[in-house]
Chain A
């Protein structure tokens, strides 16, 4: 399967805490992207990290990429109730003209 896997499947934290989500994939990639999906809505792009990058920041988001381990992590610092959503990693795979999505992590931030 070209689909990646994320863990945990679900994560519940208190507001103000940091959240960490992990993504593993199987094939060679050009880049890895993280998306957010609020309940009943479409996906929204958060951040893109290229295969030759190891770390990237965007506001309260931090993403790392380890191509040797075929894994990525997304950190959300100082979480807020509004961060409650599902988070998906997606890989743009070498030789493919498409994004393949992971299984998602459901994050709940408790006020």
Chain B
């Protein structure tokens, strides 16, 4: 009955590989997000999707592509992984509107070797 779930929790892969992280929310929210948290714990927005429409893309390399098959899912696909991509990636969701809270998944720790 987890509200926002991500898989996998840990991902270790070699440079140059392509990988995906899956995210699902069962809250009926309209907006989903991907955040990247680096080693200094800075949280940076990568993407947000509202009703299948990308509404924000914060200067993220085009090796990263969000894919949303339906409004309950927002997967993150990464091509040609680089060492600098190592981080914890968080999926989140919220209702549409400004005075709403975001619900976060448990995170996916990606390590590129």
Contacts and interface: CB of A to CB of B under 8 A. Distances in A.
A86 B48 CA distance: 24
B11 interface: no
Interface in A35-73: 35, 40-45, 48, 50
Contacts, number: 61
Nearest to A101: B43
Interface stretch (A19-27, A74-82, A92-100): A92-100
B42 to A, nearest CB: 6
Contact of B55 (A45, A97, A99, A101): A97
Q: Chain B interface residue count: which class?
A: 20 to 34
Given A30-B98, A41-B107, A42-B104, A98 B42 contact: no
B83 interface: no
A97 B42 contact: no
Contacts of B103: 45
Contact of B48 (A30, A31, A98): A98
A92 B41 contact: no
Given A41-B106, A97-B31, A98-B56, A33 B48 contact: no
A30 B100 CA distance: 11
Interface of A: 3, 30-31, 33, 35, 40-45, 48, 50, 86, 88, 90, 92, 96-101, 103-104, 106
Interface of B: 4, 31, 33, 35, 40-45, 48, 50, 55-56, 90, 92, 98-99, 101-107
